[in-house]
Amino acid sequence: MRVADFDFDLPPELIAQFPAAERAASRLLHVDAGGGLHDRMFRDLPALLRPDDLLVMNDTRVIKARLFGTKDSGGRVELLVERVTNEFEALAFIRASHAPRPGATIRLDADVTLDVLARENDLTLLRFPAPVLEVLDRCGRLPLPPYIAHAPTEEDETRYQTVYASEPGAVAAPTAGLHFDEAMLATLAAQGIRSARVTLHVGAGTFQPVRVEKVADHAMHSERYTIPQATVAAIAETRARGGRVVAVGTTSLRALEAAAGKGELRAGSDETDIFITPGYAFRVVDALITNFHLPKSTLLMLVSAFSGIETIRAAYAHAVKERYRFFSYGDAMFLERASGERPQ
């Protein structure tokens, strides 16, 4: 397969710059098991789920990962923390005229000094004078995606987090979850639809373009995930009742499929660079709630693996024609696997 096989024309005005007025007020394109396309609203989701279904949600919380400061030379520098490695250290992308070398320091605008420890490929290891998350909360800015043109606002501070976010560490939101509000969660619970949690801290690599021509030549970025034992048990119970495992977002799906990489879903924490492309044999997930993804992106390849290349091409063409809103603040899709197919 070639990366160009996953390209499509997207009018720039369809890239959502702001969230919908209310979380559940976004649109929802339902792609059924036969490939049929149905225009709905996200508030219709409870009608598409069954009492024995299980929603698996990513409870990661977006941190204020973007920092600005100066080098020893006085030159300006912009940092994007990719990952917090321990209480006082983090890996970051650095944008500067000349990247600071190990041994140098970076002074943030809030008069906080970071020590440059080492280079690790295109990332830089930094040591903070206080716990990383405390410094980021005090000095950092919300890292909105590069296709959102405005600077972060107070509204973004709330709306670029899921209502169930609890585990700080992501530099990008698990955007399928942004459509859920407390009322929706209450409705689903009253309907007998259970939920479970995983944690996958979304890295900045999710926005990195695919720079190769052949899909097989692309190397995925690595991300940290945790699968609680309670989630493993809930999935087993769902299977026993004949219910479906519904992943809320590609991050939840990637965490589950990575944790089942050896055939059996296991609880615990690990790193994953799983790259899901057409032909992949799904082991855990039966249905997927997701937003619309960038052309030629690894996430577009993932949903094409889940629902079929031609089905996704038709769905995206329909979404463009019907003026759906795309990407992080955009509308959602509910994807069902083909009739008769269950995870391996």
* Residue 170 placed within a domain: yes
Q: Please give the full DSSP string across 273-313, using - where no structure is assigned.
A: -----TT---SS-SEEEEE---TT-HHHHHHHHHH-HHHHH
* pLDDT tens figures, 160-197: 999 999 999 999 999 999 999 999 999 999 999 999 99
Contact in structure between 227 and 57 (CB atoms under 8 Å): no
Tokens of 266: 């296991």
Task: Please provide the average confidence, as pLDDT, over all residues in the chain.
Answer: 94
Tokens of 253: 């799906």
Of 208 and 29, the one with more pLDDT: 29
The upper half-sphere exposure of residue 146, i.e. CA atoms within 13 Å in the direction of its Cβ, equals 8
* Residue 40 placed within a domain: yes
Residue 129: domain span: 66-139
pLDDT band at 99 (very low <50, low <70, confident <90, very high): confident
342 pLDDT higher than 90: no
pLDDT band at 340 (very low <50, low <70, confident <90, very high): very low
**Based on the domain organization, do 161 and 310 belong to the same domain?**
yes
Contact in structure between 290 and 324 (CB atoms under 8 Å): no
pTM of the model: 0.94
133 pLDDT higher than 60: yes
**Based on the domain organization, do 100 and 167 belong to the same domain?**
no
The count of residues in the chain is 344
* pLDDT tens figures, 214-270: 999 998 888 999 999 999 999 999 999 999 999 999 999 999 999 998 789 999 999
State the CATH number of the domain containing residue 181. Answer: 3.40.1780.10
Angle at 243 between CA 164 and CA 249, to 5 degrees: 35
Q: Tokens 């606002």, residue? A: 153
Average pLDDT over residues 270-292: 96
State the CATH number of the domain containing residue 71. Answer: 2.40.10.240
**Based on the domain organization, do 236 and 311 belong to the same domain?**
yes
* Residue 343 placed within a domain: no
Q: Tokens 């300006």, residue? A: 76
